[in-house]
A = this chain, B = another copy of it.
Amino acid sequence: MNASKLLTVGLVQHACSASRNKNLERSQSGIRQAAADGARLVLLQELHTAVYFCQTEDPRAFAMAETVPGPTTGLLGKLAKELAIVIIGSVFEKCAAGFFYNTAVVLNPDGKLAGSYRKTHIPDDPGYSEKFYFTPGNRGIKAIDTPVGRLGVLVCWDQWYPEAARLMALDGAQLLLYPSALGWDAGDRADQRDQQLEAWITVQRGHAIANQLPVLCCNRTGTELAADDSGADIEFWGSSFACGPQGEMLARAGNADQVLLADVDLSRNAELDRVWPFFRDRRTDLYGDLVKRHRKRS
């Protein structure tokens, strides 16, 4: 039996307004609260400095993009250093002319940028026009080393892809993390709502189980009205959660603003892969077709 390697984590979910300063105040206040309660790693939600501007396609929104490193990583890095914790934030990244990314950033307890991850799976459905704004991530699916562990940071839509979780696990991630911004459309029926939310949680618990890694997911709250007449209002469902490497729920938030804390035992990963040694039996000789683009018609 390994010695327990407990890591207290904090997930800060909150609603956003048009004011970048107010949004950052909420994030920072949540981070301070989590750290005061013992968190050594704090995960923020996707694009936490702004409203979810991808509800509509508006060229003016590009003015909000910033570099990495840049203002937000500077601010989060300073806070990470002050509190001596790891912070995972999310930035609308401006890279080069015509290249913008939806980027998760990891700040180390020394205040420095440990690394960043550019969202690779980009959604585009009513209310989530991300393909207009974001170039698909070009740096692969790579874990990031920090003093509290090697982190598999992915972003929102990546949540639905077993490939992304597996690649992070193969790259040595000890923890999967998803900053997220997802909710119900105004038109979703009551009976669909629960099922959508449970599907979203279940598929991520599935990644935990298949890869024997804990999963942290931090999701936005609040209702945001579409800027146009599309009616694409979104009621972000919060429900941030932490589960262990067997998919067991450690903590789950409601849909209001909340700082969610959980104790993750990183020694459980290695315990599990001795009881159910999944990785040993992967049939890599048969997996070549996973790079096929098209599905056979049925």
A residues sitting closer than 8 Å to B (CB atoms) are 120-123, 125, 136, 140-141, 143, 149-150, 157, 160-163, 165-167, 169-174, 195-196, 198-199, 202-203, 205-207, 209-210, 246-248, 275-279, 281-298
A171: chain B residues within 8 A (beta carbon): 289, 296
A160 touches B199 (CB 8 A): no
A202: chain B residues within 8 A (beta carbon): 202, 205-206, 209, 247
A-B contact pairs, 29 of them (CB 8 A): A140-B286, A140-B289, A160-B209, A161-B210, A162-B163, A162-B165, A162-B207, A163-B282, A163-B286, A163-B287, A166-B290, A167-B287, A172-B298, A174-B298, A195-B246, A198-B247, A198-B248, A199-B209, A199-B246, A199-B247, A202-B202, A202-B247, A203-B209, A203-B210, A203-B247, A206-B209, A206-B210, A279-B295, A282-B293
A291 touches B287 (CB 8 A): yes
Contacts A162-B210, A247-B198 given; does A170 touch B283 at CB 8 Å:
no
A139 vs B275: C-alpha distance when bound (angstroms): 28
A278 touches B150 (CB 8 A): no
Contacts A125-B277, A161-B210, A284-B293 given; does A298 touch B143 at CB 8 Å:
yes
A205: chain B residues within 8 A (beta carbon): 202, 206
A157: chain B residues within 8 A (beta carbon): 281
B169 touches A276 (CB 8 A): no
Residue of B nearest to A272 (CB): B199
Residue of B nearest to A200 (CB): B209
A119 to chain B, nearest CB (A): 10
A287 vs B297: C-alpha distance when bound (angstroms): 22
Please list the 9 inter-chain residue pairs (A to B) with the smallest Cβ-Cβ separation, ordered nearest first.
Answer: A206-B206, A162-B162, A172-B296, A172-B298, A150-B298, A203-B209, A284-B291, A199-B246, A199-B209
B210 touches A295 (CB 8 A): no
A109 to chain B, nearest CB (A): 18
B276 touches A125 (CB 8 A): yes
A275: chain B residues within 8 A (beta carbon): 125
A32 to chain B, nearest CB (A): 29
Partner of A173, one of B161, B294, B298: B298
A121 touches B283 (CB 8 A): yes
Partner of A292, one of B160, B170, B283, B293: B170
